[in-house]
Amino acid sequence: MAPTTTRPRTLAEKVWDDHLVRKGEDGEPDLIYIDLHLVHEVTSPQAFDGLRLAGRKVRRPDLTVATEDHNVPTIDTELPIADPVSRTQVETLRRNCAEFGVPLYPMNHAEQGIVHVVGPQLGLTQPGMTVVCGDSHTSTHGAFGAMAFGIGTSEVEHVLATQTLPLRPFRTMAINVNSEDGRLRPGVTSKDVILAIIAKIGTGGGQGHVLEYRGNVIDNLSMEARMTICNMSIEAGARAGMIAPDETTFAYLKGRERAPKGADWDAAVEAWRQLRTDEGAQFDREVDIDADELTPFVTWGTNPGQGLPLSERVPDPADFADENERVAAERALEYMDLEPGTPLRDIKIDTVFVGSCTNGRIEDLRSVAEILDGRKVADGVRMLIVPGSMRVRAQAEAEGLDKIFTAAGAEWRSAGCSMCLGMNPDTLSPGERSASTSNRNFEGRQGKGGRTHLVSPLVAAATAVRGTLSSPEDLS
Amino acid sequence: MEPFTTHTGIGVPLRRSNVDTDQIIPAVYLKRVTRTGFEDGLFSAWRQHEDFILNREPYKRGTVLVAGPDFGTGSSREHAVWALMDYGFRVVISSRFADIFRGNSAKQGLLAAQVAQDDVELLWKLLENQPGTEVTVDLRERTVQAADLTVPFQIDDYTRWRLLEGLDDIGLTLRHEAEISAYEAARPSRMPTTVQL
């Protein structure tokens, strides 16, 4: 499997080498083994259909797991799904999983949730693995030192049939995030870090690359904060984001259902400790982020690279030197209905969404609860809090967070992708403006005509209280 | 998959960068469980504006889309490729494609032709000044030709070969079944499974 080599290698190269079924010859791609295939209802029906047409079966149902997340309503989940097309899609997944023997966590199951929240919390996502899913935010799992990336439906079918993918090696990019003391400044979260990275390198900056996040700030982040960063690697155009596993990773995994036990655990940890970029290994590119300069970050435009510190003003398109960027900024401001020069803090918000595979985990909900405790959501503001999984929901309720949310006037929902992409009934109306802890501010992403500002959970909570884009330091 | 050698059709200049897959086909259209019929979702928000390029003759009959940089960013939805093909597009030209979109295109036989931005600008001007100009994309020669303009495009050799031959990836991979089985036999037993034992 792993070639015997003394050449220093990056983390990404090590995981790649470990999964090489076959080295490509004469310009062919390599054939890479896939350790874990996550499936959901939106990108899989045509793949299962393809298998049926070709008379193929799922090669490794035991390395495949499905959940219902994109379409599911987050209220009245005991009732049949009202939208007949959504219902058909969910029912199709159930039929396909039953026919092909794929384990499924359906709505109302204790383990149901967003596919990228479910994998890690079960301990299925482990260091050094290859993880794929027909969803671009699969990069989330890279927080464990796994190589995890999103694929299209044809590739879903390919993995179902062969448990492999033909791939060309990715280039590598180090993103070094350091601060004086290895900490982020108060009120700054890993979401602000990744938004600042994307603003710096651009939505195409990571194209063809696996990003490896390194540095003392990354070392000190929790697993959930690391997942937030890796999650949005795709918004910088990267195939995947990775963080080398360390004691924080091992402590998170130990004792989880699908994590190794006993002697297997010890063997696993020993193997995982090798999963670090070697001294002297060359990245194709390196980017340095000075985390002491980071403050809460928000987006003003219609792609995740159009972001600025909250303390800034809406930019003037005339100030962009690049013609394409200037046109894109003009179009974005028109869509967002914003005037150049407006302080970002003056932007009034209609809806606040807390949730998604980016920021729908328990630590995110705790940080929101801390701000909302004893405060009220501003008049005229709607706040939706949607846990990333039913397990996160149960945990939040055990800690009494739901009481804080509802006392503040927020809506407390069941698990799913929800307003991140509005495939279920949770959508913005035309012209409605949101502060959202999700990952994409594309035109119409949260509902046709909806306007999205991407923010951290802390900014989301403070914004809900004040009604305008705010950070906790704006609250008295 | 149908082999692709050359294609000739009306060129459509789309002067936008960062055309993400949510714009190509919004999520509301992804609920179907079939593989065809996605043409109505293509650029559906933009098509509601009368002056959008695909609402204008002769561009609405176009089959070669010439777009700005960073085409196909965002979501991995292959529906974006299906929508473009169901509408009638056979080629998308851009100076930079998002990785997943490029991969999905190759699986379906949609040619993602990477053309230098300066050449994209020339094509835009030509197609805007002479609406209805036919563009010929020759995969064997890796050229885009329209009126008296001929520019090269880039595509990797393997994808080009697969498109020219119209080959199915799963069939290609299954020729190496023995190697997959050998790899599986050597995987550590501690690796997790999704089925509760």
* The CATH homologous superfamily of the domain defined by A340-470: Aconitase, domain 3 (3.30.499.10)
Q: Which amino acid is at A100?
A: F
Q: B78 contacts in A (CB within 8 Å)?
A: 43, 46, 134, 152-154
Same-fold call for A11-168+247-269 versus A340-470: yes
More confident residue, A1 or A147: A147
Least reliable range by pLDDT among A5-14, B59-68, B84-93: A5-14
CB contact under 8 A, B183 and A1: yes
Residue from B24, B29, B73 whose CB has the most chain A CBs within 10 Å, to mutate: B73
Q: What 3 state SS string does chain B have?
A: CCCCCEEEEEEEEECCCCCEHHHHCCHHHHHCCCCCCCHHHCCCCHHHCCCCHHHCCCHHHCCEEEECCCECECCCCCHHHHHHHHHCCCEEEECCECHHHHHHHHHHCCEEEECCHHHHHHHHHHHHHCCCCEEEEECCCCEEEECCEEEECECCHHHHHHHHHCCCHHHHHHCCHHHHHHHHHHCCCCCCCCCCC
> Phi and psi of B25, rounded to 5°?
-150, 110
- Each residue's pLDDT tens digit, A105-137: 999 999 999 999 999 999 999 999 999 999 999
For position A27, what pLDDT does the model report? 85
Residue of chain B whose alpha carbon sits nearest to that of A49: B34
- Each residue's pLDDT tens digit, B126-157: 999 999 999 999 999 999 999 999 999 999 99
CB contact under 8 A, B195 and A42: no
For position B21, what pLDDT does the model report? 97
Mean pLDDT of chain A: 97
Which residue carries 């209905």 as its tokens?
A: A337
CB contact under 8 A, B190 and A260: yes
Place A324 in a pLDDT band, splitting at 50, 70 and 90. Answer: confident
- What are the residue boundaries of the structural domains of chain A, listed by start? 11-168+247-269, 171-245+277-293, 340-470
Mean pLDDT of chain B: 96
CB contact under 8 A, A31 and B179: yes
| Interface ipTM | 0.94
* The CATH homologous superfamily of the domain defined by A11-168+247-269: Aconitase, domain 3 (3.30.499.10)
Q: How many Å apart are CA A380 and CA A7, to the nearest integer?
A: 60
Of B104, B173, B187, the CB nearest to A162: B173
CB contact under 8 A, A54 and B170: yes
For position A154, what pLDDT does the model report? 96
- Each residue's pLDDT tens digit, A384-427: 999 999 999 999 999 999 999 999 999 999 999 999 999 999 99
For position A378, what pLDDT does the model report? 98
For position A26, what pLDDT does the model report? 84
Domain A171-245+277-293: give its CATH code: 3.40.1060.10
Domains, chain B, ordered by start: 6-186 (3.20.19.10)
End-to-end alpha carbon distance in chain A = 59
Residue A422, min C-alpha distance to chain B (Å):
7
pLDDT at A3 over 60: no
Residue of chain A whose alpha carbon sits nearest to that of B121: A324
Beta bridge partners, A38, equal A65, A133
For position A5, what pLDDT does the model report? 60
CB A149 within 8 A of CB A417: no
Q: What is the mean pLDDT of residues B8-32?
A: 96
